[in-house]
Amino acid sequence: MNETVNTNRSDTLAAEIAASRWTHLLPLLILFLAFAYHLGNLPEDGAVLLADSFRYIWTIEFSRYFFTASSLTVRAIYLLLDNDQKLIAITQLTMAFAAPVFIYLSLKGRHFAYNMLLGILLGLLYFSTSAVKFHDVVSSESIYTSLFITFTAILFAYHGRGRLFWLLFVGILFIFSRNPAPYIVLVQLLLYFIFNYPKPSGRKMLVVVSILAGFSFFALWLIQCCDTTKEINVADNLYSRVFPYPEKVDFFQKQYGMPVGPFIDVCQLSGSNVNLPCFDHEAIYTGDSVTRQYRLTNDDYGLADWIRKDGMRAWTNFIIFQDTRHTLEVYINSFQSLSQLMFADVKNEKTFDIFPLLTSIFKKLGILNFIGISIYLVAGTVIYFFAGRDVTLKLGLVYILSAFPAFFIGLFGDSEEIKRYTYPAILSLYIGISIYFLAIGRFIFHRTNEALSDHRQ
């Protein structure tokens, strides 16, 4: 009799384990449906080629210049795909959906209801066009954004098979995907030690983290050494953020030795558009067909030469040390406005997008203003460190915190196409807030159940 009962219990337990494994796969099916939905809506002729695409499409003889460009990861992927627009679009879309898969595998728990809720949340986010808006455009933003979201999930939450391999592989790809990436990686490595204090995860993990830090510093050196496109970014900022203000022009000329000339009055009329011919009927830059980068053209006043030698240092010192108060004001106001407006105007009956609804909800909760989000971050951090160190809450907090440096670089790195350059930061913010509230909801649910259980006893 006992043997029969034990056998029945074993069979029941085995059946529950098997069922549990299958139910863990159901949320992944939701994500696959989201992937299939966007795959079916790809343009027939593949990704759209922007004017900026020549920087990433390598069609000339292979040379050392291939390795000394920004967005090396993007350029390498496009080259492996033989620059085929359709394959580029499919690959970018696939990389975009690697992010929610890693998030789900990192955060899934033992309970079916929670896993389904997590899968539905990620599915709704990635069903939305706003989450993968760059997948059908040949641009570094798509791959950069996907690697940003994926790398964060692996570093802070993923503990599955091949964790160290995926962390190193995705991390290196991310570091060389766009110029802001090495800065973000260094910030996230610092956050890794803070959130895992006092015990980081093992010697092997420390080795991988050290390698990623080394690659990040190497990438920063490469940018300073060889990437001429950063000089165009400085010119953009001068046109729109210095030339229109006489007191700033005077400061740059006296403090940093910026050249004097009539071009200042002419170029400021162009706003931030360096394409306009305000240097004796010529633009200040052109495209280099050999290095596949933008480069400054020499002018009679010596501005291009000054930008090459001192421009980046002057602009960085100015916004951080000389104009600090104004920089903070612009940063806070821009962060609040773009976090509220980035997805608010999405109106397309042919596509699904939950982000406008999330914008409305987050605004009502007061989390899309700087004071509100600071309060939520402090509260979440206290709960994390003093009430169990929940991995879901940690990942939500890190996505939110990572949005701040990413937004700063996107905002002040270049005055053109600010919405495009700050989009990855705002997407990280929205994903982080969504995961944050999922974690807080689960925390309240468990504490309420514990309190009710104690009360009954």
Residue predicted with more confidence, 271 or 19? 271
pLDDT for residue 455: 67
pLDDT for residue 2: 46
Same domain, 193 and 251: no
Same domain, 128 and 26: yes
Q: Can you list the alpha helix ranges (DSSP code H) found in 108-228?
A: 112-127, 140-156, 163-175, 181-195, 202-226
pLDDT for residue 343: 86
Rg of the Cα atoms in the chain: 25
- For residue 209, is pLDDT > 50? yes
Same domain, 200 and 240: no
Q: How many CB atoms lie within 10 A of CB 447?
A: 11
Residue predicted with more confidence, 402 or 3? 402
- On whether residue 221 sits in a domain, the answer given is yes
Cis bond before residue 356 (omega within 30° of 0): no
Boundary-marking domain end, from 305, 325, 348: 305
- On whether residue 324 sits in a domain, the answer given is no
Same domain, 68 and 169: yes
For residues 403 and 145, the answer to whether their CB atoms sit within 8 Å is: no
Phi, psi of 184 (to 5 degrees): -65, -40
- The helix/strand/coil state of 82 is coil
**Section 158-183 average pLDDT:** 95
Inter-CA distances, 189 with 56, 226, 289, 331, Å: 28, 25, 37, 23
- On whether residue 219 sits in a domain, the answer given is yes
Centroid of chain to Cα 219: 17
Same domain, 31 and 119: yes
- On whether residue 325 sits in a domain, the answer given is no
Q: How many domains does the chain have?
A: 2
Q: Nearest-CA neighbor of 318 among 239, 225, 248?
A: 248
How far is 259 from 176, CA to CA, in rounded Å? 34
Domain that holds residue 290: 233-305
pTM exceeds cut of 0.95: no
Residue predicted with more confidence, 52 or 61? 61
- On whether residue 446 sits in a domain, the answer given is yes
Same domain, 256 and 129: no
pLDDT for residue 348: 58
For residues 342 and 414, the answer to whether their CB atoms sit within 8 Å is: no
Same domain, 94 and 23: yes
89-93 long-range CB contacts below 8 Å, 24 or more apart? 89/42, 89/43, 89/46, 89/47, 89/135, 89/136, 90/39, 90/42, 92/47, 92/134, 92/135, 92/136, 92/142, 92/143, 92/146, 93/35, 93/38, 93/39, 93/42, 93/132, 93/135, 93/136
For residues 298 and 305, the answer to whether their CB atoms sit within 8 Å is: yes
**Section 6-23 average pLDDT:** 51
For residues 285 and 294, the answer to whether their CB atoms sit within 8 Å is: yes
Same domain, 407 and 296: no
Q: Nearest-CA neighbor of 240 among 287, 273, 288, 211?
A: 273
Q: 163: Cβ–Cβ under 8 A, 6 or more apart, which residues? A: 154
Boundary-marking domain end, from 305, 324, 352: 305
pLDDT for residue 42: 85
Same domain, 340 and 366: yes
How far is 230 from 238, CA to CA, in rounded Å? 13
pLDDT tens track for 240-263: 899 989 999 999 999 999 999 888
pLDDT tens track for 30-50: 999 999 989 888 877 777 887
pLDDT band at 347 (very low <50, low <70, confident <90, very high): low
pLDDT band at 199 (very low <50, low <70, confident <90, very high): confident
Same domain, 260 and 185: no
**What does 259-273 look like in DSSP terms, one character per residue?**
PPSTHHHHHGGGTT-
- On whether residue 310 sits in a domain, the answer given is no
Residues in the chain: 457
Residue 355 is encoded by which pair of tokens?
């982000």
Boundary-marking domain end, from 265, 290, 305: 305
Same domain, 49 and 128: yes
**In a 10 Å sphere around its CB, with 0-12 CB exposed, 13-18 middle and 19+ buried, how is residue 204 labelled?**
exposed
- On whether residue 100 sits in a domain, the answer given is yes
For residues 245 and 201, the answer to whether their CB atoms sit within 8 Å is: no
Percentage of the chain exceeding pLDDT 90: 61
Torsion angle of the four alpha carbons 423, 427, 433, 439, in this order, in degrees rounded to the nearest 10: -160
pLDDT band at 13 (very low <50, low <70, confident <90, very high): very low
Q: What is the sign, positive or negative, of the torsion defined by CA atoms of 313, 317, 323, 326? A: positive
pLDDT tens track for 80-132: 999 998 899 999 999 999 999 999 999 998 888 899 999 999 999 998 988 88
Same domain, 374 and 448: yes
- On whether residue 312 sits in a domain, the answer given is no
Residue predicted with more confidence, 13 or 321? 321
